[in-house]
């Protein structure tokens, strides 16, 4: 008999794991995933990509492995722009209640967030 307990995800694994700054970590994961997608569709080596992005290659390697603490969301968006992609920040209506917290999400070429 298996005594494994299961629970429904909130949609943010960092929140589910009670990680500090869970929303920020999810956005960074989405940005890192976008960078990986761009690199997967290019002929660039990791060294060439790192040079284009203005990052040391080992830092890019860590970022792509999900170790992105110490790299800001803005820096990650700058990396995406340096790879030839447009980055747009869109402010939507969100919640009708001003006191309610809106959400931040990354959408890559019309694909829904992770």
pTM of the model: 0.79
Question: Residue 89: what are its φ and ψ, rounded to 5°?
Answer: -110, 120
Beta-bridge mates of residue 111 = 108
Question: 22-59 pLDDT, tens per residue?
Answer: 888 889 999 999 999 999 999 999 999 999 999 999 99
Q: Who's near 66: CB < 8 A, 6+ residues apart? A: 29, 32
How far is 79 from 36, CA to CA, in rounded Å? Answer: 11
How far is 68 from 100, CA to CA, in rounded Å? Answer: 28
- What is the second-level CATH architecture of the domain 14-82? Orthogonal Bundle (1.10)
Question: 63-114 pLDDT, tens per residue?
Answer: 999 998 789 999 999 999 999 999 988 877 766 666 777 777 777 775 555 4
Query: Which of 106, 111, 102 has its CA nearest to residue 80?
Result: 106
């Amino acid at each position: 008999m298996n005594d494994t307990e299961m629970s429904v995800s909130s949609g943010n694994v960092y929140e589910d794991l009670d990680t500090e700054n869970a929303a920020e970590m999810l956005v960074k994961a989405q940005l890192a995933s976008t960078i990986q997608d761009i690199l997967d569709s290019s002929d660039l080596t990791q060294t060439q990509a790192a040079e284009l992005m203005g990052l040391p290659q080992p830092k890019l390697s860590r970022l792509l492995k999900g170790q992105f603490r110490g790299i800001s969301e803005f820096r990650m968006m700058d990396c995406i722009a340096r790879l030839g992609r447009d980055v747009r920040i869109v402010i939507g209506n969100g919640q009708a209640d001003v006191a309610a917290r809106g959400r931040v999400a990354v959408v890559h070429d019309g694909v829904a967030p992770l």
